[in-house]
Structure 1
Amino acid sequence: MSISSKFNFDNLWSEKSTDADRLLTQHAKYDFAVAYPPFEAVPMYGLIDGLKSKVDADLEKVSIEMAYYPHVQGDESLREFTANKIKNDRGIRANKESIVLCNGSGEANGLVIQALIDPGDYVITEQFVYMGTTKQLTFYEANTVGSPIDDQGLIPEKLEETILNIKSQHGVMPKMLYTIPEHQNPTGSTLPKSRKLEILDICHKYGIPILEDDCYVDNRFEGDPEPAFATLDDSGMVIYVGSFSKLIAPGLRMGFFTASDEVIDRALSVKVGSGPNQFTAYAIDGFLRNNLENQKSTYDKILKDKKESMEKGLVDFFSNTSAKWSSPKGGCYTWIEMTDGANLTEVRDEVFSRGVGYIAGDMFAPNGDGQNMARLCFSFEPVEKNYEGIKELASILKDLKVI
């Protein structure tokens, strides 16, 4: 039987589904809008060698494991490696049973959100925060409130005010605090230990768990990392998320979280399907067991050079303007603010069409502010293009009478 008319789904769509944008991402000549690590240092041959080392060590074991669907928590060997890594790097007590490997840190955050958040619940984040997580919070119908920050991140006394305002205005306590304390996305700030201790006291006082997204900690190129929330608190209140995306490459889609047994059980109860890609896990495990510190130092040297190149451009071409910018000690981003209120959101598309890409601050703002701010990613473009691109950005903004 031949049916010529097109089937109509108009009355069948679920309430949550929308028309997705499947267009390929457009890139400007100077692409500071991305969120990628340095492509020139992605260790492709190292990953291949790491994979080969796992196969050569025990072909039969690897073949049998590949014939199975992965364990719901992911590859056992990589979980063991990850537990040892965060113990050695961050002082976090974990073992292979308390590590859950995920399809990137985004899935880790999503599982925790689903385990804790009901529609209508309130979640506190930084005033400007990673849009991937705010999109998940919106999808699961949470009310996201940004708490004030400065160049060191969350301000403890303002966080307490935010908690009390939610209680006063809505009659409920926030369900969770989500934060990126180390080389924050998008601002580049790092929360000092003293503030973390204050925030832990506040969250204990009001019974609010902390979802700590530590995905940039391996990208520090100046000084030593601050201790993690999860290092400073052993009550089980902190859920710790990490990633191999910024240490190796986002294309691997491998992240993880560690938490108390009860949180892990609840998070896994909302997970659909098995653990993440076993083939990828072999490559990461085989590579990092012999190359972890070298991989860190290679990336960090490149990131430092790129950040300094962008910063020199900002000094040379924005010093006599209303702009101020962050000077991060790690990560991938510089945050720029036009202190006279000049609107970077409304000129973003025009600037892009002229060759410079950035993400305007309102894209990171749960409270709807940030139009006079922008995130500039220095990690992807070559060193010389970071300087040239900032020079071009200044020229375009002058032509548009923004500066």
Structure 2
Amino acid sequence: MKNLERLFSQTAKAIRSSEIRDLLKLVAKPNIISFAGGMPDPSSFPKSELVKIAEYVATEKTELAFQYGPTEGMPQMLEFLSQKFKSQGIDAAVNTLLITSGSQQALDIIGKIFLDPRDLVMTEEPAYLGALNAFRQYRCNFVPIACDSEGLQVDVASEQLKKLDRGGGSLPKLIYTNPTFQNPTGSVMPVSRRKKLVDLACEYDIFVVEDDPYSRIYFEEEPPPSIKSFDKEGHVIFLSTYSKILSPGIRLAYLCAQPELIKKMAIAKQALDLCTSSLSQILGYEYEKRSYEEKKIREIRENYKRKAELMISCMEENFPDGCEWTKPKGGMFTWVKVPSPLNTKEMLPKAIEKGVAYVVGTAFYANGGGEQGMRLNFSYPTHEEIKKGIKRLSEIIRDQI
């Protein structure tokens, strides 16, 4: 094909590769210490538990596990999730739930059913780049709202919505937030902001997309209730996943939204993959039903807490003056700022040469910015790798100053 580009749709031309996925290809070499991926510690995978479940499935549940299933999800899984939500104060009937092949698919479905070219999406900044990429392919425009130590600044969002409303222009269709141990900063939105965000969604008749992969991974104090728990009028679309507490390899997630949305989302999902893997669903269902998760999550919390504390301690010991970083109380990331005029994107090739990798801050900014930022993952590297990697990174920063 001489000119393939001319055949691509405008949607295809808007698609960008994830900077993290591209970076992971570069850092696959054994001598590189990677703080780049948002990957769980492989030691957290419940191998023996999954072997027991797999043996049970292979002998007792073969037809169910290896056959097509309903697009919305296996009835047993949906009923279990419904009861789980109710225990958290969320009245989630089965018809408000959809099982998806990872949260990334859920984000794509949301973009597919809501966004036309030039529609507005309000998002926190910095924001999870997977959400930015999922929405960007539908050629929307972003309205970024800066985060502080407590996540998305809801008062600033309120003022921006007022300004847009007074101006007579279009309002955002969606407000995207990752309020609990946020990716990339690790911040936690307090209850007061969560309630106010629901009030804003009701006032302007728009949807909040609450992305919640990390709330189970708290180190000491349990985080506030979900934004969805304060939603009485169906203005919050809640997403969560098994990737961080079971395994990312099974590609199992779910969302909760008003029934009318679930119907439309299920139709959109049919065109993507017909249904989420029945095998993955039954693995997740049995894992939860047998209470394996309750034991394993305590191990994960303690493991990640030790790693986070080690990374913070190493930065305090090695990083030069002028650097700043967050001190997460859960999740998988810390957010680092280097002093201006340093640029973490320009530093990255030098870092890879030295055998350490991170995600550049610009990847998390929808409309530019973030040149002094970098995201570091502490869940995946070993303790020894954290020590060596932070020392290498500090040397690179000092060389640039």
Q: Same fold (TM over 0.5)?
A: yes
Deviations along 1:333-366, one digit per CA (max 9) or x if unpaired, are 0001125442212111211221110111110001
Alpha-carbon separation, structure 1, partners of 2:237 and 2:16: 31
Match of residue 38, structure 1, among 38, 41, 44: 41
Q: Does 1:367 align with 2:367?
A: yes
Distance 1:321 1:251, change over 3 A: same
CA shift, 1:92, in A, is 1.9
User: Which amino acid letter does the alignment assign opposite residue 357 of structure 1?
Assistant: A
Please tell me whether residue 161 in structure 1 is matched to residue 159 in structure 2: yes
Does residue 82 of the first structure (1) align with residue 81 of the second (2)?
Answer: yes
Question: Which residue of the partner structure matches residue 316 of structure 2?
Answer: 315
Task: Name the CA distance, whole Å, in 2 between partners of 1:289 and 1:66.
Answer: 16
Cross-structure match for 1:3: none
Q: Please name the residue that 1:93 is paired with.
A: 91
Opposite residue 45 of structure 2, the aligned amino acid is V
Q: TM-score, normalised by structure 2?
A: 0.91
Deviation string for 1:90-146 (max 9, x for gaps)?
A: 322223332211010111122122222222110011011111110111101111121
- Separation (CA, whole Å) in 2 of partners of 1:342 and 1:8: 39
Name 2:144's counterpart in structure 1.
146
What residue number does 2:335 align with? Answer: 335
User: Which residue of 2 is the match for residue 258 of structure 1?
Assistant: 256
> Which of 104, 114, 117 is residue 116 of structure 1 equivalent to?
114
- Name the CA distance, whole Å, in 1 between partners of 2:3 and 2:391: 52
Instruction: Supply the distance in 1 between the matched residues of 2:104 and 2:209 (Cα, whole angstroms).
Output: 12
CA RMSD of aligned residues (A): 2.2
- Structure 1 residues 155, 55: closer, same or farther in 2, change over 3 A? same
**Residue 281 of structure 1: CA displacement?**
1.4
Shift of 1:305: 0.9
Deviation at 1:85, TM superposition (A): 2.8
Kindly provide the amino acid, as one letter, of the partner of residue 338 in structure 2.
Answer: M
Distance 1:270 1:14, change over 3 A: same
Equivalent residue, structure 1, for 2:397: 397
Matched residue of 2:390: which SS?
A: helix
Counterpart CA distance in 1 for 2:267 and 2:2 is: 36
Residue by residue over 1:140-173, the C-alpha shift from the partner in whole angstroms, topping out at 9 and shown as x without a partner, is 1111121011011011211112223444668111
Pairs aligned (count): 390
Structure 2 residue 228 is matched with structure 1 residue 221: no
Query: Is 2:11–2:138's contact at 8 Å kept on the other side of the alignment?
Result: no
Q: Distance in 2 between matches of 1:192 and 1:390?
A: 31
Percent of aligned pairs with the same residue?
28
**Unmatched segments (≥5 aa) in structure 1:** 1-5
How far residue 68 of structure 1 moved from its aligned partner, in angstroms, is 3.6
Aligned with residue 197 of structure 1, among 195, 204, 216? 195
* Structure 2 equivalent of residue 72 of structure 1: 71
Q: Counterpart of 1:294?
A: 295
For residues 310-347 of structure 1, give each alpha carbon's deviation from its aligned partner in whole angstroms, at most 9, with x where no partner exists. Answer: 011111112x5101111111110000112544221211
| Secondary structure of the structure 1 residue equivalent to 2:51 | helix
Distance 2:350 2:52 in 1: 45
Q: Secondary structure at the match of 1:217?
A: coil
Q: Distance in 2 between matches of 1:20 and 1:374?
A: 20
Structure 2 residue runs of 5 or longer lacking an equivalent are none
Whichever residue aligns with residue 25 of structure 1, its letter is: K
TM-score (norm 1): 0.91
Give the CA deviation at 1:395: 1.2
